[in-house]
Protein backbone atom coordinates (compact mmCIF):
# COMPACT_ATOMS: atom_id res chain seq x y z
CA UNK A 1 0.00 0.00 0.00
CA UNK A 2 1.34 3.44 -0.94
CA UNK A 3 1.03 5.92 1.92
CA UNK A 4 2.25 9.50 1.83
CA UNK A 5 3.22 10.97 5.21
CA UNK A 6 4.17 14.61 5.11
CA UNK A 7 4.26 17.92 6.94
CA UNK A 8 3.80 21.27 5.18
CA UNK A 9 5.22 24.59 6.42
CA UNK A 10 5.07 28.18 5.25
CA UNK A 11 8.48 29.49 4.19
CA UNK A 12 9.52 32.63 6.10
CA UNK A 13 12.91 33.52 4.57
CA UNK A 14 15.01 32.95 1.44
CA UNK A 15 17.91 31.25 3.25
CA UNK A 16 16.82 27.85 1.85
CA UNK A 17 17.86 28.99 -1.63
CA UNK A 18 21.57 28.47 -0.87
CA UNK A 19 20.80 24.84 0.08
CA UNK A 20 18.91 23.98 -3.13
CA UNK A 21 20.28 21.00 -5.04
CA UNK A 22 17.83 21.03 -7.97
CA UNK A 23 14.81 22.93 -9.24
CA UNK A 24 12.11 22.03 -11.71
CA UNK A 25 9.10 23.93 -13.06
CA UNK A 26 5.87 21.95 -13.08
CA UNK A 27 2.18 22.33 -13.73
CA UNK A 28 -0.67 20.25 -12.44
CA UNK A 29 -4.44 20.20 -12.67
CA UNK A 30 -7.21 18.22 -11.01
CA UNK A 31 -9.68 15.90 -12.68
CA UNK A 32 -11.74 14.87 -9.69
CA UNK A 33 -11.85 16.36 -6.23
CA UNK A 34 -14.29 14.41 -4.13
CA UNK A 35 -14.03 14.23 -0.34
CA UNK A 36 -12.46 10.76 -0.39
CA UNK A 37 -10.32 10.86 -3.54
CA UNK A 38 -8.38 13.35 -5.64
CA UNK A 39 -7.10 12.68 -9.16
CA UNK A 40 -4.49 14.95 -10.74
CA UNK A 41 -2.25 15.11 -13.78
CA UNK A 42 1.20 16.68 -13.41
CA UNK A 43 3.84 17.61 -15.98
CA UNK A 44 7.44 18.37 -15.02
CA UNK A 45 9.82 18.79 -17.93
CA UNK A 46 9.62 15.72 -20.16
CA UNK A 47 7.86 13.55 -17.56
CA UNK A 48 4.22 13.34 -16.53
CA UNK A 49 2.21 11.48 -13.90
CA UNK A 50 -1.35 10.61 -13.06
CA UNK A 51 -1.87 10.58 -9.28
CA UNK A 52 -4.69 9.30 -7.11
CA UNK A 53 -4.82 10.46 -3.48
CA UNK A 54 -7.14 9.28 -0.74
CA UNK A 55 -8.59 11.41 2.03
CA UNK A 56 -6.11 12.63 4.63
CA UNK A 57 -5.96 10.94 7.98
CA UNK A 58 -3.79 13.20 10.12
CA UNK A 59 -0.52 13.61 8.22
CA UNK A 60 -0.98 10.40 6.18
CA UNK A 61 -2.97 9.55 3.07
CA UNK A 62 -3.04 6.89 0.38
CA UNK A 63 -1.19 7.95 -2.76
CA UNK A 64 -0.75 6.09 -6.04
CA UNK A 65 1.31 7.71 -8.81
CA UNK A 66 1.80 6.44 -12.36
CA UNK A 67 4.05 7.82 -15.07
CA UNK A 68 2.16 8.59 -18.29
CA UNK A 69 3.15 10.10 -21.65
CA UNK A 70 3.45 13.90 -21.57
CA UNK A 71 1.10 14.22 -24.55
CA UNK A 72 -1.55 12.27 -22.63
CA UNK A 73 -1.09 14.48 -19.56
CA UNK A 74 -1.41 17.63 -21.70
CA UNK A 75 -4.64 16.33 -23.22
CA UNK A 76 -5.98 15.25 -19.80
CA UNK A 77 -5.25 18.70 -18.36
CA UNK A 78 -6.74 20.52 -21.35
CA UNK A 79 -9.84 18.41 -21.88
CA UNK A 80 -10.68 16.68 -18.60
CA UNK A 81 -9.55 19.01 -15.82
CA UNK A 82 -12.09 20.84 -13.68
CA UNK A 83 -9.49 23.24 -12.28
CA UNK A 84 -6.92 25.86 -13.20
CA UNK A 85 -3.34 24.69 -13.66
CA UNK A 86 -1.22 25.14 -10.55
CA UNK A 87 2.13 26.47 -11.80
CA UNK A 88 5.13 26.18 -9.48
CA UNK A 89 8.84 25.57 -9.27
CA UNK A 90 9.78 22.71 -6.99
CA UNK A 91 13.16 23.04 -5.32
CA UNK A 92 14.89 20.15 -3.55
CA UNK A 93 16.66 21.12 -0.32
CA UNK A 94 18.63 18.85 2.03
CA UNK A 95 18.46 19.83 5.69
CA UNK A 96 19.70 17.85 8.69
CA UNK A 97 19.66 14.57 6.75
CA UNK A 98 16.15 15.01 5.37
CA UNK A 99 15.04 15.96 1.89
CA UNK A 100 12.60 18.87 1.75
CA UNK A 101 10.76 20.21 -1.28
CA UNK A 102 10.09 23.92 -1.45
CA UNK A 103 7.28 24.88 -3.81
CA UNK A 104 7.48 28.43 -5.14
CA UNK A 105 4.18 29.24 -6.82
CA UNK A 106 3.65 31.32 -9.96
CA UNK A 107 0.70 32.87 -11.75
CA UNK A 108 -2.44 33.26 -9.63
CA UNK A 109 -0.63 31.77 -6.62
CA UNK A 110 2.45 34.06 -6.90
CA UNK A 111 3.89 35.01 -3.52
CA UNK A 112 3.12 31.69 -1.84
CA UNK A 113 6.08 29.52 -0.89
CA UNK A 114 5.61 26.30 1.11
CA UNK A 115 7.98 23.55 2.18
CA UNK A 116 7.12 19.88 2.59
CA UNK A 117 8.94 17.03 4.20
CA UNK A 118 7.89 13.47 3.45
CA UNK A 119 8.49 10.95 6.23
CA UNK A 120 8.77 7.17 6.44
CA UNK A 121 6.49 6.98 9.49
CA UNK A 122 4.22 9.31 11.47
CA UNK A 123 6.60 9.06 14.43
CA UNK A 124 9.79 9.90 12.48
CA UNK A 125 11.65 12.83 14.06
CA UNK A 126 13.00 15.77 12.04
CA UNK A 127 14.46 19.24 12.57
CA UNK A 128 12.43 22.20 11.37
CA UNK A 129 14.77 24.49 9.41
CA UNK A 130 15.11 28.15 10.39
CA UNK A 131 13.48 29.16 7.10
CA UNK A 132 10.31 27.17 7.86
CA UNK A 133 7.52 28.93 9.76
CA UNK A 134 4.01 27.85 10.66
CA UNK A 135 3.02 24.23 10.20
CA UNK A 136 0.06 24.35 7.79
CA UNK A 137 -0.33 20.61 7.24
CA UNK A 138 -3.90 20.63 8.55
CA UNK A 139 -4.90 23.86 6.78
CA UNK A 140 -6.67 22.76 3.58
CA UNK A 141 -6.12 26.20 1.96
CA UNK A 142 -2.46 25.33 1.33
CA UNK A 143 -3.26 22.15 -0.60
CA UNK A 144 -2.65 22.40 -4.32
CA UNK A 145 -6.16 21.10 -4.97
CA UNK A 146 -7.62 24.06 -3.06
CA UNK A 147 -5.24 26.53 -4.75
CA UNK A 148 -6.39 25.29 -8.18
CA UNK A 149 -9.91 26.55 -7.43
CA UNK A 150 -9.16 29.37 -4.94
CA UNK A 151 -5.93 31.11 -5.97
CA UNK A 152 -3.72 32.64 -3.31
CA UNK A 153 -4.03 36.11 -4.92
CA UNK A 154 -7.77 36.11 -4.00
CA UNK A 155 -7.31 35.39 -0.29
Euclidean distance between CA atoms 27 and 135, whole angstroms = 24
Euclidean distance between CA atoms 60 and 119, whole angstroms = 9
- Nearest to residue 52, comparing CAs of 67, 42, 63, 61? 63
Question: In which band, very low, low, confident or very high, does the pLDDT at 141 lie, cut at 50, 70 and 90?
Answer: very high
Q: Fold for 3-154, please state it.
A: Hypothetical Protein Pfu-838710-001 (2.40.320)
pLDDT at 2: 87
Mean pLDDT of 31-43: 86
Catalytic residue ranges = 30
Angle (nearest 5°) at CA 44 between 91 and 27: 90
pLDDT tens sequence across 70-117: 999 999 999 999 899 999 999 999 999 999 999 999 999 999 999 999
Amino acid sequence: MAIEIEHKFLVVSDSWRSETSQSQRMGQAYLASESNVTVRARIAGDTAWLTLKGASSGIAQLEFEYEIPVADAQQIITELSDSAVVDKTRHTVMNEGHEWVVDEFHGDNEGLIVAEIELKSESEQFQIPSWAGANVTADYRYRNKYLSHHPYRNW
